[in-house]
């Protein structure tokens, strides 16, 4: 897995915002988003599960693990991890 040191705004990365979604709602959204971006040849995307209660993020991480997608937390310009945004590596 490669290192990612830029914010999503610096790279114009495709982003899926899951704020306000329930665990039952995210599967189709995430699957469609990842499939579309893989077909478009994207190398990485951002998914924002938010921090909240952690249920959506936990469900998302389990999904990514089972699907074999490596990920890491988005980094701010200061190098600090943003635990509400995940960078997903598609290649």
38, part of any domain = yes
Q: Look up the CATH number of the domain holding residue 49.
A: 3.30.1370.110
Tell me whether residue 2 is in a domain.
no
27 lies in some domain? yes
Question: Of 6-10, 47-51, 55-59, which has the strongest mean pLDDT?
Answer: 55-59
Per-residue pLDDT, 11: 52
d(CA 73, CA 12): 17
Specify the number of domains making up the chain.
1
The mean predicted confidence, pLDDT, of the chain is: 86
Q: What is the pTM of this model?
A: 0.82
User: What is the structure's pLDDT at 48?
Assistant: 95
Containing structural domain, residue 53: 8-89
Run of H or E residues at 37: helix 23-39
Give per-residue pLDDT as tens, 15-36: 999 999 999 999 999 999 999 9
H or E element in which residue 48 lies: strand 44-48
* 3-state percent helix, strand, coil for the chain, nearest multiple of 5: 35, 25, 40
- 3 located within any domain: no
**Structural element, H or E, at residue 81:** strand 81-89
């Amino acid at each position: 897995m490669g290192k990612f040191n830029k914010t999503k705004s610096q790279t114009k990365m495709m982003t899926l915002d899951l704020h306000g979604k329930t665990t039952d709602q995210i599967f189709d959204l995430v699957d469609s988003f990842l499939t579309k971006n893989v077909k478009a040849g994207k190398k990485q995307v951002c998914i924002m599960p938010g921090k909240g209660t952690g249920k959506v993020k936990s469900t998302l991480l389990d999904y990514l693990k089972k699907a074999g997608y490596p990920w890491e937390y988005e980094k701010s310009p200061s190098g600090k991890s943003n635990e509400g945004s995940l960078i997903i590596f598609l290649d």
